Amino acid sequence: MGEYYGSRAQESVAFPLSGPPVCVSLFGYSAQRGCLRSVHDEESGDSFIELRDIEHGARTPAERFYLEPSKQHEGLLHVRCCDGNKYWVARQQRTPDGGSAWFISATADEPEEDLTKPSCTLFDFQVASDSKRPSEGGGGYIRCFHSQQNKYVGWVSVSGDLCFIPGNKAYLQLGVRDLLSVHRLSQQKELPKYVAFKGNNGKYLTEMNRNSFSGKTGGDDWVQQFSSSDLTDPDVIHETFTDDYGIVRIRNNTSGRFWTCGVRSLLNGTIGTINDSGFYFGAFIPHDAIYSDVNTLFKVVSKDGNIIALQNLGNGKFCESVTDPTIIYSNILVASGTDINSSGVMLQIEEPVMSREIYDVEYNVGGKKTSTNQNVSRTEVLSNNRTHETHQGKPTIELYDRTESKWDANLTLDAGIKAHISASLPFIMEGGAESHLDFHGEYNWGETKIQETKRMYEYSYPVPPMTKVLCSIFTREDVVDVPFSYKQKDVMYSGNIVIRQLHDGIYHGTKSSDIDIDITEESIA
């Protein structure tokens, strides 16, 4: 039985950072232990970075950040929030005592590389050589240095909140209020909480007693077979437990037994099930937490849509459907695959959900990211006067208002369940956030919904002889990305009702409106 440290689930983050962006969580040091998260301030309407005691680890996008290496300054990086994709930037803000101070906020829409600008979003994550290495063997602690202000960044209590601010060494009490441990997180979306697995034979995976195949006893008594054709069969339902690092344990919902990669079963690597009253994944993995049996741990690899592969961490092999006529069994799940693209390795996930409702959608407008463009969307010929007399033109111009909306989840794989959603549509109009439209109806996560209305405008004007009249239509386009939380109510095929409060929503919306026209004339040769 191998041991597996939760903090070693992913490779450590090495600084200075290079390569693609890395998803991380940032934890405080010693007595100030907690997790950095973006927090929306209702009064200012902005989001700030604070150190918070948490019960849910990095289970929401607010506690997750992307470290993006600078394109112009080697060793420096930008920090992008996962909830809304805003960048860290220093911002001066009034304090409760009437003064002002610089805070690290999540308010920059785009990265700024210019070190001379106060809006610069560059930071230097410096390995703290004077700090002790974490007991679990992680990569030590770092200090965050604000490159534009030439100051270290640490947490200071402001009205009871531990705010992340730039300051001098004495003010921050270096070694106490500035040390952070960096935890690399999985960028992979996790499996739904309740899931069924379908194999390449079109059947669902269910737990079977191995004696029905071999007539033997001993060893692992239960195996997984692709044998059921019914998604409503309670035996095909599995419950998943995923940690911050993308590692998952899987439990058969009927028997309560966990999957394990067996070594004494029909074939080496056969996925059996065991009774396990030991460690369940909590959302926060303590530094000294040990996963007692590596054979019960799996890693999800997403393919296309709801197609995945499962890799067992005990032997490093992919789970695949195997048939062996010499032992008289078929379509058994075995961790023996080495080719992730083979048909037996590909598993289709489905949710055993009869109906789903998404409601109580609450947008975090402080984490919104917006952009506005205004340009000529199209040019139309209104009239051609090829005579030598003036004609009176009276064409009708069609103007459009178009809204495109997409709701999606940042952390959970979409298994294709159509939900009934009730939500307003947030848009940024003239500098303010407004929820002035509503959507109610059936919806698939990630689907783009389009609402379009047409306005008719009649234009009257004289058209000179041998003249062509053109109309240029100007369109304003507002684009917004807004994180949101929501409640998800599932009615399972078993009749059970499961209600979950989730925080991983992201809304992407585009609103385009024809706002102006410009009439021009051209001579006809």
Q: What CA–CA distance (Å, rounded) separates 84 from 484?
A: 9
Question: In this structure, is residue 189 part of a structural domain?
Answer: no
Say if residue 118 is in the same domain as residue 215. Answer: no
Question: In this structure, is residue 1 part of a structural domain?
Answer: no
Residue partners of 246: CB distance under 8 A and separation at least 6:
9, 10, 185, 186, 188, 190, 299, 300
Per the CB < 8 A criterion, the answer to whether 140 and 131 are in contact is yes
Say if residue 248 is in the same domain as residue 298. Answer: yes
In degrees and rounded to multiples of 5, residue 517 shows phi and psi of: -130, 150
Q: Which pLDDT score, from 0 to 100, does residue 133 have? A: 47
Per the CB < 8 A criterion, the answer to whether 437 and 471 are in contact is no
CATH no. for residue 386? 2.170.15.10
Q: Which pLDDT score, from 0 to 100, does residue 114 have? A: 96
Confidence of residue 231 (pLDDT cuts 50, 70, 90): very high
Lowest mean pLDDT among 124-133, 148-157, 192-201: 124-133
Say if residue 360 is in the same domain as residue 338. Answer: no
Q: For the residues 345-360, what does the mean pLDDT come to?
A: 93
Per the CB < 8 A criterion, the answer to whether 65 and 25 are in contact is yes
Residue with the bigger pLDDT between 192 and 94: it is 192
Residue with the bigger pLDDT between 353 and 8: it is 353
Q: Which pLDDT score, from 0 to 100, does residue 100 have? A: 79
Q: Which pLDDT score, from 0 to 100, does residue 208 have? A: 83
Q: Which pLDDT score, from 0 to 100, does residue 479 have? A: 85
Q: What is the DSSP string of 55-70?
A: SSTT-SGGG-EEEEE-
Say if residue 230 is in the same domain as residue 154. Answer: no
Say if residue 203 is in the same domain as residue 304. Answer: yes
Question: In this structure, is residue 427 part of a structural domain?
Answer: yes
Last residue of a domain, one of 311, 332, 350: 350
Give the model confidence (pLDDT) of 88-138 as tens digits.
999 988 776 667 788 899 989 899 999 999 999 999 999 887 555 443 334
Say if residue 84 is in the same domain as residue 166. Answer: yes
Please report, as a single letter, which amino acid is at residue 38.
S
Domain of residue 153: give its range: 10-184
Give the model confidence (pLDDT) of 31-80 as tens digits.
456 788 888 777 777 788 888 776 545 568 888 999 999 999 999 999 99
Q: Which pLDDT score, from 0 to 100, does residue 30 have? A: 55
pTM for the complete prediction?
0.77
pLDDT at residue 154 is higher than 90? no
Say if residue 337 is in the same domain as residue 443. Answer: no
pLDDT at residue 376 is higher than 70? yes
pLDDT at residue 327 is higher than 70? no
Lowest mean pLDDT among 260-269, 284-293, 302-311, 353-362: 284-293
Say if residue 324 is in the same domain as residue 306. Answer: yes
Say if residue 95 is in the same domain as residue 242. Answer: no
Question: In this structure, is residue 3 part of a structural domain?
Answer: no
Q: Which pLDDT score, from 0 to 100, does residue 172 have? A: 65
Question: In this structure, is residue 385 part of a structural domain?
Answer: yes
Q: For the residues 421-431, what does the mean pLDDT come to?
A: 67
Closest CA to 46 of 111, 82, 112, 91: 91
Q: Highest-confidence range of 62-66, 194-198, 334-338, by mean pLDDT?
A: 194-198
Say if residue 368 is in the same domain as residue 515. Answer: yes
pLDDT at residue 490 is higher than 80? yes
Q: Which pLDDT score, from 0 to 100, does residue 268 have? A: 65
Helix, strand, or coil (residue 10): coil
Domain total for the chain? 3
Last residue of a domain, one of 320, 350, 380: 350
> What's the token pair of residue 388?
């030598």
Q: Which pLDDT score, from 0 to 100, does residue 393 have? A: 81
Angle, CA 454 vertex, CA 450 and CA 457 arms, to 5°: 155
Q: For the residues 200-206, what does the mean pLDDT come to?
A: 94
CATH no. for residue 283? 2.80.10.50
Q: Which pLDDT score, from 0 to 100, does residue 72 have? A: 94
Q: Which pLDDT score, from 0 to 100, does residue 437 have? A: 60
Question: In this structure, is residue 267 part of a structural domain?
Answer: yes
Q: Which pLDDT score, from 0 to 100, does residue 283 have? A: 38
Lowest mean pLDDT among 49-58, 324-333, 485-494: 49-58
Per the CB < 8 A criterion, the answer to whether 48 and 103 are in contact is yes
Q: For the residues 322-327, what does the mean pLDDT come to?
A: 73
Say if residue 142 is in the same domain as residue 14. Answer: yes
- Tell me the percentage of the chain whose pLDDT exceeds 70: 81
Last residue of a domain, one of 184, 218, 251: 184
Say if residue 327 is in the same domain as residue 358. Answer: no
Lowest mean pLDDT among 79-93, 102-116, 261-275, 306-320: 261-275
Question: In this structure, is residue 4 part of a structural domain?
Answer: no
Lowest mean pLDDT among 218-227, 238-247, 378-387, 412-421: 218-227
Q: What CA–CA distance (Å, rounded) separates 318 from 340?
A: 7
Q: What CA–CA distance (Å, rounded) separates 199 from 146?
A: 51
Q: For the residues 315-341, what does the mean pLDDT come to?
A: 84
Residue partners of 99: CB distance under 8 A and separation at least 6:
none
Q: Which pLDDT score, from 0 to 100, does residue 135 have? A: 39
Confidence of residue 203 (pLDDT cuts 50, 70, 90): very high
Q: Which pLDDT score, from 0 to 100, does residue 267 have? A: 64
pLDDT at residue 436 is higher than 80? no
- Tell me the percentage of the chain whose pLDDT exceeds 90: 24
374 beta partners: 476
Angle, CA 333 vertex, CA 329 and CA 339 arms, to 5°: 115
Residue with the bigger pLDDT between 430 and 91: it is 91
Question: In this structure, is residue 231 part of a structural domain?
Answer: yes
